Amino acid sequence: MIPHLRTPVKFVGGRAEVVDQDSTDEIIECCKNILRFPIGQRADLPGFGSPDFLFAQLSPADGHVESIRSSLEEWEPRVIAEIERDPSLLAQLTEYMTITISEAGRG
């Protein structure tokens, strides 16, 4: 396998940690990076990332769940993203979602 730097970059024993290309860990890290970067934050790839909902007033009808799923599947074609909203009381105060990542083609 081809090694990729783990993100965020970590050093252990003076060496950078890596993950193998196309491993489940590498695919998950790619998805986390998509979610970490608001669209427009990267000058070299301005469309990369996911919508920034940090201070947004959201309702279920806003389509924000679908836009996050679309971003994941656009920028990481190896996955199929399924997103569930948490209907608990805490989730009414702060939006919580569970994102399940499946490798595309592997179900």
pLDDT, tens only, 8-18 = 888 999 999 99
Domain extent at residue 64: 3-103
Rounded CA separation 76/70 (Å): 10
How many domains are there within the chain? 1
106 band by pLDDT with thresholds 50, 70 and 90: low
Rounded CA separation 83/76 (Å): 15
pLDDT at 75: 95
Return the CATH number at 18.
3.10.450
Rounded CA separation 16/9 (Å): 7
Q: Could you tell me which residue, 16 or 100, shows the higher pLDDT? A: 16
pLDDT, tens only, 45-92 = 999 999 887 777 666 656 777 888 899 999 999 988 887 766 665 555
